[in-house]
Amino acid sequence: MLLYLLLAILQTNINGQIDPAHCRYPLGMEDGRIKNDDITASSQWYETTGPQYARLNREEGDGAWCPAGQLQPSDVQYLQLDLRQLIFLTVVATQGRYARNSGNEYARKYRLEYSRDGRRWISWRNRLGSEIIMGNINTYDSVVRDLHPPIITRFLRLIPVTDAIHTVCMRVELFGCAWQDGLTAYSSPEGQTMMAPGYPITPLNDSTYDGALERRKLSGGLGQLTDGVIGQDDFAQRRMYRLWPGYDYVGWRNESLGPGFVEMEFQFDRQRNFTSVKIHSNNMFSRGVKIFASVSCAFKLHLISEWEAEPVEFHTVLDDRNPSARYVTVPLKHRSASALRCRFYFADTWMMFSEISFQSATNVLPTQRPPVLTPPSYEVNSEVSDTTQITEDRTTPSKTGSPEEGSTSILIGCLVTIILLLVVIIFLILWCQYVCKVLEKAPRRILEEEVTVRLSSSSDTIILQTPPVPPRVSLDPPYERIFLLDPQYQDPAALRNKLPELSQSAEASACSGGYAEPDVTLCTPHQCFQSSVPHYAETDIISLQGVTGSNMYAVPALTVDSLTRKDISVAEFPRERLLFREKLGEGQFGEVHLCEAEGLAEFLGEGAPLPEQDGRPVLVAVKQLRADATSNARNDFLKEIKIMSRLNNPNIIQLLCVCVSSDPLCMVTEYMENGDLNMFLSQRELESTLTHANNIPSVSIADLLHMSVQISSGMKYLASLNFVHRDLATRNCLLDRHLTIKISDFGMSRNLYSSDYYRIQGRAVLPIRWMAWESILLGKFTTASDVWAFGVTLWEIFTLCKEQPYSLLSDEQVIENTGEFFRNQGRQIFLSAPPLCPSSLFEQMMRCWSRDIVDRPSFNRLYQALRTFAPHS
Ligand code: ADE
């Protein structure tokens, strides 16, 4: 239960675009997670054919639910399920009444009605408008039907349909996943039809919208923008389901709307803290379609309150070179709201969206506590066709709890939960002790059973279900154990014990060959700290620290205490001589300012690492710790200063001086005029005659290679000192006025990039898309995991930072993919070769993502290899 609760917390943070191909978990009819109380019916033939017997593959009672009497064609009898929370429902499986070969009834056809609030019921229709779903042809086979479009709902009714008079009985299972977005409705102007000479007529309406359409405005429903299907680059092409061109998109024409923007309102199930919204937009500029130029979102705390005065505004970088449809991520600055109103401003004649997804955490407990839908503990992919019988494997619990009315019952519920929690913790501790002993004796088995992940190939007909293996010994899902919520996760050594293969093969190289790191696994942290080699390459970070923006490089926990101001060997600069110019960024720790530093050149003396002045004032970047920082944050800040003061390399940001004799603590570094590499590249195109002729900012492949060489050089230097960066990415590489790259660590100091980080509530903030599998699964950060991140950074560079790594995977799926990297059974998803990237360079990237760290190249080798690609570097 503890793990379920923790997983619930995790789930509130795992918010990405939903992928219907993977959202196919059994919801709990078969295994009983859907409780009898939540299964009702309009009628039942006998007590023994009541709704509680409508569980797929089960044979209790008389073996199925059967409505009273014989079903007439005009009858509406239904089986109703309350899923207790909003679910993205993708698949329905039905069976007839087998009753150990004595049953004879089944539903040949059925239809569905659903309701998100229990009041308004909506009839489901497929994409071509048909309500009827073909059901069973005998009493025993499960017939599995994909729902196109999927349904976002809490309540579902299955209504058997008959052409003649029949007795019908049904058993069912539903498949899907929790609807994390929490979006319950959006409203927008009605989509329009594009008619252009020489092109097919392209209706861009929201054809699956389930709300109301009045006076050309959609309201109160969900539709194509939340069906998990993203549109193609060329919207005019037909896609699956024999649909019409433009089907995937909802589109609007600028002039027809008057104000130059499309206004959409979004309503949520409860108050949430929003980090971002991702809008999948078409960009076929040759046909007058572009992503929006800017967006302004207003927030409402409660549905009945006023819109707050201060909207969040965001300007996009328009792109009329690359016609690919893309996700545009709009940061929402952690604003709390239960409704948003966003105005998307046109950049061209048309704007077309195919999907909108919100990333948020729920920050207010609902008055009715929704149960937690957790993923099954393990599953394999079983490719089933639309009429395949589902295997009889057991699935594990995924749903707990029920709603309680009123505060007394909530209180009682809480108390009972706490007591049960305590009992389960004690049980788990005892159990753990027992199982750990067993595991020591049976390492291979636990390896296979525990390391189970859910992401797999994206077929339309994959159901994620339990594998045909003997029941597991474990009570808690391995998903949690292997992933971030493992209570033992903080102690990678413990997990290593449980995964002995790791320590023998994949991990071995971290401690020996390949990298010049001291083998700290062979000594206590204290001994290592005392060794003469710089000691920051941690093969054994005790606690998983996140990236905070005030941690520059990884430092064993021990050093934190050992730092004092006295250790800082960099000069104290009089703070009154720092003249504020502008704010460069801000983050949790404080702010980064651009300042003029009066007399800094004289202060630092000959040979100071300052750019030529040409009579201009010296500009510096000043990172300032916020006044109310905790003592931990202060410690980290001082620690960062100490580490930076030891670094001196042309490709590493240079600390110039500090102001630490009074508050607020400041560190002063060189100012990099061209900002960060991510921003720099995302605003540029690949050099061509076109970019030259039109004065479009561009970069050449040679520039990209030169950048890569510089980063590898900086990292080679860090690795030679056994420093582990832990957050290498283009956002953390800065460019000076000559386009020299310097590695820095200000990722989190700018909220701009917060969607690159995955936040575990109350714990670490992790750049999961850049992290090696062993960093995510074991909390293990080494130079070899920096090499992995370097591979991702190369990938970013050669995609010109136009896309986030694994942009089609949600954060949860990225973590799942990590498990596939560990298992190495060929199911891991690699970043694909960027079109601009020479194949030999992509091979280097792939080496960086080797499962075994001995197989990853060292920075020295990468540097040498990259130099051969870029001979002038
Ligand atoms: N943003 C954060 N640090 C910076 C620096 N040193 N130069 C320019 N922009 C920055």
So where are the chain's domains? Answer: 17-178, 183-362, 541-869
| CA–CA gap between residue 158 and residue 136 (Å, rounded) | 13
Does the Cβ of 669 fall within 6 Å of ligand 1? Answer: yes
User: Angle of helix 839-848 relative to helix 783-798, nearest 10 degrees?
Assistant: 150
Alpha-helix residue ranges (DSSP H) falling in 332-405: none
* 249 touches ligand 1 (CB under 6 Å): no
Q: What is the reported pLDDT for 873?
A: 66
Instruction: Please tell me the distance between residue 621's alpha carbon and the centre of ligand 1 in angstroms.
Output: 5
Active site residue ranges: 727
Q: Check residue 404 and give its pLDDT.
A: 36
Rounded to the nearest angstrom, the distance between the alpha carbon of 418 and the centre of ligand 1 is: 48
User: Candidates 2.60.120.1190, 1.10.240.10, 1.10.3720.10, 1.10.630.10; correct CATH number of 183-362?
Assistant: 2.60.120.1190
Question: Which residue has the least CA distance to atom 8 on ligand 1?
Answer: 672
Q: Say if ligand 1 is within 6 A of residue 584 CB.
A: yes
* Ligand 1 centroid, distance to 33 Cα (angstroms): 52
621 lines ligand 1 (CB under 6 A): yes
228: left (phi over 0), alpha (psi -120 to 50) or beta: left
How far, in Å, is the centroid of ligand 1 from the Cα of 130? Answer: 57
- From the alpha carbon of 671, which atom of ligand 1 is closest? 7
What is the token pair recorded at 321?
A: 């070179």
pLDDT at 295: 96
Burial letters for 549-583: b for 16+ Cβ neighbours within 10 Å, e otherwise? bbbbbbbbeebeeebeeeebebeebebeebeeeee
CA dihedral defined by 202, 207, 211, 215, rounded to 10 degrees? 30
* CB-count exposure of residue 102 (10 Å: 0-12, 13-18, 19+): exposed
**Which of 351, 146, 129, 295 is CA-nearest to residue 228?**
146
Cβ–ligand 1 contact at 733 (below 6 Å): no
Give me ligand 1 centre to Cα 83, in Å. 49
Instruction: Report the distance separating Cα 572 and Cα 603, nearest Å.
Output: 10
- 183-362 has the same fold as 17-178: yes
What is residue 33's predicted lDDT score, i.e. its pLDDT?
Answer: 95
Q: Which helix (H) or strand (E) holds 202?
A: strand 202-203
First to last CA, the chain: 57
Find the 805 Cα to ligand 1 centroid distance in Å. 23
666 C-alpha vs ligand 1 centroid, how far in Å?
14
Report whether residue 734 contacts ligand 1, using a CB cutoff of 6 Å. yes
One-letter amino acid for residue 384 of the chain = V
- Please name the residue ranges forming H helices in 515-630: 525-530, 557-562, 600-604
Q: Tell me, using a 6 A CB cutoff, whether residue 743 lines ligand 1.
A: no
Any residues with CB less than 8 A from the CB of 539 and at least 6 apart, and which?
A: 510, 511, 517, 519, 520, 521, 780, 782
**CA pair distance 504, 511, nearest whole angstrom:** 11
CATH number of 17-178: 2.60.120.260
Whether 753 is in the pocket of ligand 1, judged by its Cβ within 6 Å, is no
Q: Residue whose CA is closest, atom 6 of ligand 1?
A: 671
pLDDT attached to residue 612: 72
* Cα–Cα dist 211/219, whole Å: 6
CA-based radius of gyration for the chain = 29
- Closest Cα to atom 1, ligand 1: which residue? 584
Number of the ligand 1 atom closest to the C-alpha atom of 673: 8
Facing residues of 183 across strands? 268
Name the stretches of the chain with pLDDT < 50: 1-15, 240-241, 364-407, 435-565, 746-750
Peptide bond into 149 cis (omega under 30): yes
The pick from 746, 749, 750, 752 for probing ligand 1's pocket by mutation, whose C-beta has the most ligand atoms within 8 angstroms, reads 746
Q: What pLDDT does 804 receive?
A: 94
- Residue of 595, 624, 669 with the most ligand 1 atoms within 8 Å of its CB, for mutation: 669
- DSSP one-letter code for 759: E
Indicate the burial class of 524 (C-beta count within 10 angstroms; 0-12, 13-18, 19 or more).
exposed
Tell whether ligand 1 has an atom less than 6 A from the beta carbon of residue 746.
yes
Question: Could you tell me the fold of the domain covering 541-869?
Answer: Transferase(Phosphotransferase); domain 1 (1.10.510)
Phi, then psi, of 691 in degrees rounded to 5: -65, -35
Evaluate: CB of 870 within 6 angstroms of ligand 1: no
Distance from C-alpha of 61 to C-alpha of 58, rounded to nearest angstrom: 9
Task: Tell me the H-state helices in 485-596.
Answer: 492-498, 500-501, 508-511, 525-530, 557-562
Residue type at 703? D
